[in-house]
Amino acid sequence: MLLRSMALTSGEGPSDGGPTVDGVVLPKSRLAAFSDGVFAIAITLLVLSLAVQSSQAHRLLDALSELWPAYLAYLTSFFMIGRVWMAHHLILTVCKGIDRTAIKLNLILLFAVSFLPFPTSLLGQFVRDSGAERVAAVFYGVWLLLIAVLIAALWRYVSADRRLLIERLPDVTVTRLTNALEPSVALYGAAIVLALFLPQVAAGAYLAIAVFGFIISA
The whole-number pLDDT of residue 176 equals 86
Express each pLDDT in 45-93 by its tens digit: 999 888 777 777 778 888 788 888 899 999 999 999 999 999 999 999 9
Decide if pLDDT at 105 tops 90: yes
Residue 202 has pLDDT above 80, yes or no: yes
Total structural domains within the chain? 1
| Closest C-alpha to 188, from 137, 141, 134 | 141
19 within domain boundaries = no
State yes or no: pLDDT of 177 exceeds 50.
yes
Which DSSP helix (H) or strand (E) runs through 143? helix 133-159
Question: Whole domain around residue 129: which residue ranges?
Answer: 27-48+69-217
> Does residue 59 fall inside a structural domain?
no
What average pLDDT does range 123-139 have in this prediction?
94
DSSP 85-135: HHHHHHHHHTBS-B-HHHHHHHHHHHHHHHHTHHHHHHHHHHTT-TTTHHH
Give the per-residue pLDDT at 20. 53
Q: What is the pLDDT of residue 61?
A: 84
Within a domain: 5:
no
Phi, psi of 33 (to 5 degrees): -65, -45
Per-residue pLDDT at 5: 39
Please, which contacts does 106-111 make with residues 24 or more away whose CB atoms are closer than 8 Å? 106/31, 106/35, 106/154, 108/150, 109/84, 109/147, 109/150, 109/151, 109/154, 110/34, 110/35, 110/38, 110/39
Q: With a cut of 70, say whether residue 24 has pLDDT above it.
A: no
CB 96 within 8 A of CB 165: yes
Lowest-confidence region among 106-110, 128-132, 194-198: 128-132
In this structure, is residue 61 part of a structural domain? no
Q: What percent of the chain has pLDDT over 70?
A: 88
Q: What is the pLDDT of residue 3?
A: 37
% of the chain with per-residue pLDDT over 90: 57
45: burial class by Cβ within 10 Å (0-12, 13-18, 19+)? middle
The answer to the question of residue 136 being in a domain is yes
Q: What is the pLDDT of residue 119?
A: 97
Q: Is residue 109 part of a domain?
A: yes
For residue 172, being part of any structural domain is answered with yes
